[in-house]
Chains A and B, each alone.
Chain A
Amino acid sequence: MNTIIFRTVSPVLVALTLLFSAFVTLRGHNEPGGGFIGGLIAASAFALYGLSHGVPTVRRALRFHPMEIAGFGLLLAGGAGLLSIVFARPFLTGLWTFPSVLGVEVALSTPLFFDLGVYFVVTGTMTSIALALEAREGGV
């Protein structure tokens, strides 16, 4: 896996894949996509980076341990559900607001944050598993 072509191309591919994962996640509310598939795409980007540059490089680049990212996602998703307690609505009820940012209407909602939570959970756990398996294979 240490060919010069793969090592040169992979950072570009990883950046593009991560961008694509964000795109897929955000379009997920009304069109095919969503946090789960977006998270899988992001995890595959990190797995690819691990193959080309080694697992320690990925861990350094991530700054946080993948499981910590997953924990953050779980907290985000739980928090999105809990927000409805303030508005006296049952747990996990979708709440929407449409603030205008620089003249553009932005649809903000608790399902969005729930989906982002799912994104982080999936990214974290799948990256964690992939990196553990890669570290074992490469003997790092």
Chain B
Amino acid sequence: MAASDPHAPAVDLAVAMVTAPSTASDWLIVLPVVVPLVTGAILVMVRHATHLHRPLTALGLALLFGIDLMLLGRVVAEGPLTMMMGAWKPPFGIAFTVDLLGATFATTAAFVALVATATAGPAINTAERRYGFYPFLMLLMTGVTGAFLTGDIFNLYVWFEVLLISSFGLLVLGSEKAQIDGTVKYGLLNLVATTFFLIGVGLLYGTLGTLNMADIAAKARAAGPEAPLVTIAGLFIFAFAMKAAAFPLNFWLPASYHTPTATVSALFAGLLTKVGVYALLKVTVLLLGNQTGAYTDLLVVMAAATMIVGALGAIAGSDLRRILGWLVISGIGSMLIGVAVGSPGALTGSIFYAVQSMLVMTALYLAAGVVEARAGTGDVRRLGGFYAAAPLFSGVVLVLLFAVAGLPPFSGFWPKAILVESSLAVDRPGLAAAVLVSGFLQTLAVGRIWLYVFWRGGPEGTPDGAIDLSGVRVIENPADRVALVGPVIVLTAAVVLIGLVPTAIGGLAEGAASGLLDPAGFTARVLGAPAP
């Protein structure tokens, strides 16, 4: 500003503000949050013009995916990136900090949402559309993306709440009794979890006097493992383990995930628990990695128990989507291994597993939606004959089931192999055994799904050799058929691709893992100078 300007401040603002102009590529960091937010706002404004919702959402999600891809490309090339809201100099002000982990998760989430939303045309009825399915979806994506990209721990809490309140809206969309029941449990338990997260944030601020993630990482390392910080790390582990649905904090998930429309369940299964896993990785490994030594044994037991209990729950289930809910939980156990062990190999395996699990679980829930749309029920006793009715679709689902169980050559196999190897490398044979045993139990569970729903000739009571397709409706409208089955095939293709060429995602996961284990490098990138 000119010196004669009466509004020019009497002090040099460069002391506290970033004065360098922001480039277009800097905006890549914040646009993934702004795009869904603005799209969501427009959708809320035109809530009565429901015919506009679908094209606008598709546009917003495609834009989001494109921007995420560009951002991922830049992070791969340059390392962690930061943009300060309002131009305040770090560690003051709210930072958006993207590392490889956040960019990978955000890109996968945008891809999953883009593909899964294609099913919403036939799957979401007019009443649910008028109630606001698409605006809630875009606000959910705002929350998810914000959580992956933020560099400020209080801001992370805000994004958690944004995605939580949109997920409430999506859960009660149909106002059915089961949905209200599920939302009560989901809502209360998740609210308790985020409140514990907020307690942790408050105490962390009281102890370290900062909320910037890079600054926290530096100051926690400088402080060493001491009483309040270790307790705060425990609070974070409790809160995020509950968000991620780790045993024994998992009971809200099988109570709620099967109640909404299949599209909504698919998005939840693909995105929400992974936000919890992401937060666990980020906070307990990158930020407070030197404070969590006391919890290692607890986390190891938790990971093993989550894997086994999830697989057992899947075997004991009789409702298709509830079985899938337990398989989600079982997968969370594998992702916890990285948090528990903390070695580069285990973290690589966990991140790899989380990325492929987003694709596989979303695809499986969408496939369950197709089965329910055709048979009118999710009870495996009353299902059957799908192989006779739709052999191609059944084959696609078989690939997904193999991927969940971790059978080669599909995507679930590689991260599990890495996890077994790295568990043995840090002398935790019990953990390696838990991976293998849970893999065996998962194979049993998915084998049962395949046998009951697809392979046998008809519902329970159909004689051997006979084929009874009376319960399997044909989806009349070809456009609906493409919209419902197409996304499953696209996601399955991605799963097969990852299985055949594991090095691409594996390389990203390895880079993200080494980023998590290098807090000094992260701090230097964000704050611009080595920590004092």
* Chain A directly contacts chain B within the complex, with at least one CB pair under 8 Å: yes
A residues near B, CB below 8 A? 65, 67-68, 70-72, 74-75, 78-79, 81-82, 84-85, 88-94, 96, 98
Q: Tell me the bound Cα distance from A68 to B48 in angstroms.
A: 9
Choose one: B34, B43, B84, B87; the contact of A71 (CB below 8 Å): B43
Q: Which B residues are CB-close (under 8 A) to A65?
A: 47-48
Q: What are the interface flags for B233-249 relative to A under an 8 Å C-beta threshold, 1 for contact and 0 otherwise?
A: 00000000000000000
| B49 smallest CB distance to A (angstroms) | 11
Given A74-B37, A89-B21, 8 further pairs, Cβ under 8 A: A67-B44, A68-B47, A71-B40, A74-B41, A88-B21, A88-B23, A90-B87, A93-B86
CB <8 Å contact, B38 and A71: no
Q: Tell me the bound Cα distance from A88 to B24 in angstroms.
A: 8
CB <8 Å contact, A75 and B38: yes
Q: Tell me the bound Cα distance from A42 to B46 in angstroms.
A: 22
CB <8 Å contact, B86 and A92: yes
CB <8 Å contact, A98 and B86: no
CB <8 Å contact, B37 and A71: no
Choose one: A71, A81, A94; the contact of B41 (CB below 8 Å): A71
Q: Tell me the bound Cα distance from A105 to B41 in angstroms.
A: 33
Task: Report if B26 contacts A (CB, 8 A).
Answer: yes
Q: Tell me the bound Cα distance from A115 to B26 in angstroms.
A: 25
Instruction: Return 16 A-B CB contacts under 8 Å, by A number.
Output: A67-B44, A70-B44, A71-B44, A74-B40, A74-B41, A74-B44, A75-B45, A81-B34, A85-B22, A88-B22, A89-B22, A89-B87, A90-B26, A91-B83, A91-B86, A94-B86
CB <8 Å contact, B27 and A91: yes
Q: Tell me the bound Cα distance from A82 to B27 in angstroms.
A: 10
| B88 smallest CB distance to A (angstroms) | 9
| B85 smallest CB distance to A (angstroms) | 5
CB <8 Å contact, B47 and A71: yes
Q: Which B residues are CB-close (under 8 A) to A96?
A: 7
CB <8 Å contact, A98 and B87: no
Task: Report if B505 contacts A (CB, 8 A).
Answer: no
Q: Tell me the bound Cα distance from A88 to B22 in angstroms.
A: 5
Q: Which A residues are CB-close (under 8 A) to B87?
A: 89-90, 93
Task: Report if B189 contacts A (CB, 8 A).
Answer: no
| Given A67-B47, A68-B45, A68-B47: A90 in contact with B40 (beta carbons within 8 A) | no
Q: Tell me the bound Cα distance from A75 to B37 in angstroms.
A: 8
Q: Which B residues are CB-close (under 8 A) to A92?
A: 85-86
Q: Which A residues are CB-close (under 8 A) to B40?
A: 71, 74
Task: Report if B30 contacts A (CB, 8 A).
Answer: yes
Q: Which B residues are CB-close (under 8 A) to A88?
A: 21-23
CB <8 Å contact, B18 and A72: no
Task: Report if B42 contacts A (CB, 8 A).
Answer: yes
| B370 smallest CB distance to A (angstroms) | 32
CB nearest to B94 among chain A residues: A92
Q: Which A residues are CB-close (under 8 A) to B45?
A: 68, 71-72, 75
CB nearest to A67 among chain B residues: B44
| Given A90-B87, A92-B86, A93-B86: A71 in contact with B26 (beta carbons within 8 A) | no
Choose one: B7, B30, B43, B48; the contact of A91 (CB below 8 Å): B30
Q: Tell me the bound Cα distance from A62 to B321 in angstroms.
A: 43
Question: For window 46-104 of chain B, which residues contact chain A by CB distance below 8 Å?
Answer: 46-48, 83-87, 96
| Given A71-B47, A90-B26: A78 in contact with B83 (beta carbons within 8 A) | no
CB nearest to B33 among chain A residues: A91
| A97 smallest CB distance to B (angstroms) | 10
CB nearest to A70 among chain B residues: B44
Q: Which B residues are CB-close (under 8 A) to A74?
A: 37, 40-41, 44
CB <8 Å contact, B41 and A90: no
Residue of A70, A74, A94, A96 ringed by the most chain B CB atoms within 10 A: A74
Choose one: B22, B38, B43, B48; the contact of A90 (CB below 8 Å): B22
| B242 smallest CB distance to A (angstroms) | 27
| B150 smallest CB distance to A (angstroms) | 12
| Given A94-B86, A98-B7: A82 in contact with B41 (beta carbons within 8 A) | no
Residue of B21, B37, B42, B45 ringed by the most chain A CB atoms within 10 A: B45
CB <8 Å contact, B37 and A78: yes
Q: Which 8 A-B pairs have the closest CB atoms?
A: A71-B44, A74-B41, A88-B21, A71-B45, A75-B41, A93-B87, A91-B30, A92-B85
Q: Tell me the bound Cα distance from A85 to B30 in angstroms.
A: 11
Q: Which A residues are CB-close (under 8 A) to B23?
A: 88
Question: For window 1-51 of chain B, which residues contact chain A by CB distance below 8 Å?
Answer: 7, 18, 21-23, 26-27, 30, 34, 37-38, 40-48
CB nearest to A111 among chain B residues: B86
Q: Which B residues are CB-close (under 8 A) to A93?
A: 86-87
Q: Tell me the bound Cα distance from A23 to B98 in angstroms.
A: 40
CB <8 Å contact, A78 and B44: no
Q: Tell me the bound Cα distance from A82 to B26 in angstroms.
A: 13
Q: What are the interface flags for B483-519 relative to A under an 8 Å C-beta threshold, 1 for contact and 0 otherwise?
A: 0000000000000000000000000000000000000
| A112 smallest CB distance to B (angstroms) | 15
Q: What are the interface flags for B452-496 relative to A under an 8 Å C-beta threshold, 1 for contact and 0 otherwise?
A: 000000000000000000000000000000000000000000000
CB <8 Å contact, A82 and B34: yes
